[in-house]
Amino acid sequence: MNHIAPLVFWGIWLFVPALIDGVTAVASLAGALLIRLRARRRPPLCFYPLVSIVVPVYNSGRTLAACLRSFAAQDYPRRRMEVLLINNGSSDDSFAVYARLQQELGLTIQWHSIANKGKAWALNAGIHLAHGQYIFNIDSDTVLAPDAVRRVVEAFEAEPDLGAVTGAIRVLPPPPGATWKQRVLAGCEFMEYLTAFHIGREHQTLMGNLYTLSGAFSVFRRDVLLQTFLYSQATVTEDTDLTFELYERFRDRRIGSVSAAVAYVHPVESLGALYAQRVRWQRGQLEVSARHSALLRRGVLRLRGFAPARTLIIDHTLAFPRLVWTFLLPALTAFGYEPRLIVGAGIAIYAFYLAIDGLWLAGGWVHVDRAARGHLRAVLPPLVLLPLYRMLIFWFRLSGFLHAVAEPGAWRVQDPVTQVRVGLASLRYQARATLRRAAAHLRHGG
C-alpha cells in the first residue's frame, strides 16, 4: 500500500497533461494526415487569376529587398501579380530599395504613402487599392517560398467555399555570428512553428476552428474581405480580430490553413524579444475575445466548429498543473516528501513532455519538404530543451494576462529583466541627483 500511494499521487498530476496534451497530439497528427490527403487531390491551375500582394512598410530597408525578390521568384505569372507597398511613416531607405528594384524585378510594384501610422491602417489602405481576386497580406520581413502564391490560389480555386487562409510560417536559421543562446532559441522556435503550422493548424482546419490567420502571411477572397470592417486598431493583434469577425459574419465560408504554401521569417533575437512578442499575442487574445463576446457563447462541447471559449478553457486547465509544478513541487519537502521522490517526479513529467514533442516532430517530418527536414536535423540537439522552452512560453503568456488587466496595449513590451535594469538605473540617477542637491546645499552654507 505504501508503494501505491505515491504512484496515485503523482499519477493524478500526470493525468491532466496526458489527457489534454497527449490526446491533442494524437488527434492533431490524424487531422493533419487527412488534410494532406485532401490537398493531393487538388487539380493544377488552368487559369491564373489576378492576385494583389499588400505589404505594410515601416522602416523596412533591411528586409524589403529579400521580400520583393521572393515575389519575383514565384512560379506564378508575374503579369498576374500586383504588389502594393504601403508606407506608413518610414524614415529609413525603404523607398530607395523600392526604387532600385521596381525596374529590375519586372513586377508591377506600386508605392503609396499614408498619413496614419500603424500596420492596420497600412493594410486597410492597400486592400482598398487592390484589384486582385485574391488579396495577400505579407509582412515586409517575410520571404515567400517560390511556389507559395500558386499553392494558395490552387486551394482557393479547388474549394469555392474557402474564404480566407493562412500559409505555413517557418523560422529561418540565425544569421552568421549568432551566439549559442541565439542558436538554441532559434532552434526551439523553428520546431515550435513547424509543429504548429504543419500539424496544429491543419488539424484546426479540418475541425473548422482555426484561431488566427497569421499576420505575416494571410490571403483572402476579395469579395469576402470587403464585407468586413477590415483590420482594427482597437487591439494589438489585428489579425486575430479579423479572423473572429470572419467567423461572425460568414457561416458558408471556411477559414483554413494551406501548409504547402510556406513563408519564412527571421528568428527572435533574444528572450526579451520573445517575451514582448508572446505577451502581445496573449493580450491580444483577451482583447479580441472581449470584442467578440458572442463567439464565446458558442458551445464548447462541439467537436467541430469555431468555439474560442474551448481554447481559453484548455489554456486555463493547463495553467493549474504548470503552476503547481513550478511552486508546489519544491515545497513538498516541507511536508515530508523525500527530495529524490520529488526529483524523480519532475524527471518523469519532463520526459513525458519530451516524448510528446518528439511525437509532434515525427509527424511534422512526414509532412515537410527536404529543405525543412535538413533544417530540422540541424536543430535537433535543442530538442531536449523544448519542454523547458514551452514552459517559458507559458509564463510569458501568463504575463500577457496580467498586462491585459494592468497596462495599456502596446506593440513594444519590455521584458522583466529590462524593466528591473531600467528601474535600478532610475533609482541610481535619483540617488545621485539627491546627493548633488545635498552637496550644493552644504556648499552654500545650508
pLDDT tens across 228-246, in order? 999 998 888 899 999 999 9
pLDDT of residue 202: 81
Please compute the mean of the pLDDT values over residues 65-87 and round it to a whole number: 96
Per-chain mean pLDDT for the chain? 83
What pairs with residue 53 in β-bridges?
83, 136
109 has pLDDT over 70: yes
Quickly tell me which residue has 516524448 as its cell: 355
* Cα→Cα distances 346→6, 315, 325, Å: 13, 21, 8
Q: How confident is residue 413, by pLDDT bands cut at 50, 70 and 90?
A: low
pLDDT of residue 191: 92
Please state, in angstroms and rounded to a whole number, the distance separating the CA atoms of residues 172 and 262: 12
Confidence of residue 165 (pLDDT cuts 50, 70, 90): very high
CA 138 to chain centre: 14
Characterise 230 by phi-psi region: left (phi > 0), alpha (psi -120 to 50), beta (else): left
What integer pLDDT is reported at residue 340 of this predicted model? 79
CA pair distance 354, 148, nearest whole angstrom? 32
Q: How far apart are CA 60 and CA 73, in angstroms?
A: 20
- Specify the pTM: 0.84
The percent of the chain in helix, strand and coil, each rounded to the nearest 5, is 60, 10, 25
**What pLDDT is recorded for position 114?**
92
Better-predicted residue by pLDDT, 302 or 263: 263
198 vs 166, more confident: 166
Highest mean pLDDT among 156-170, 274-288, 294-308: 156-170
- Lowest-pLDDT range, 3-7, 126-130, 223-227? 3-7
Unique residue bearing C-alpha cell 501579380: 81
The alpha carbon torsion through 310, 211, 271, 408 (nearest 10 deg) reads: -80
Q: Looking up cell 538605473, which residue turns up?
A: 425
What average pLDDT does range 268-290 have in this prediction?
86
Q: pLDDT at position 122, please?
A: 94
What is the pLDDT averaged over residues 68-74?
Answer: 97
pLDDT at 124 over 90: yes
Predicted pLDDT at 15: 64
Q: What average pLDDT does the segment 118-142 reach?
A: 95
Say if residues 189 and 386 touch (Cβ distance below 8 Å): no
Exposure letters 221-235 (e unless 16+ CB within 10 A, then b): bbebbeebebbbeeb
pLDDT grade, residue 167 (50/70/90)? very high
pLDDT at 403 over 60: yes
What is the pairing mode between strands 254-265 and 143-144? antiparallel
Q: How confident is the model at residue 414 (pLDDT cuts 50, 70, 90)?
A: low
Q: Does the pLDDT value for residue 27 go beyond 70? A: no
pLDDT greater than 60 at residue 420: no
Cα separation, 82 vs 67, in Å, equals: 14
The separation between the first and the last C-alpha atoms of the chain, rounded to the nearest angstrom, is 79
Task: Note the pLDDT of residue 419.
Answer: 55
**334 vs 30, more confident:** 334
Half-sphere exposure of 415 toward its Cβ, with a 13 Å CA cutoff? 15
Q: Please give the single-letter amino acid code of residue 254.
A: R
pLDDT at 427: 55
pLDDT at 5: 58
pLDDT above 70: percentage of residues in the chain? 78
Residue 291 C-alpha cell reads as 470584442
Of 328 and 346, more confident: 346
> Residue 258: pLDDT above 70?
yes
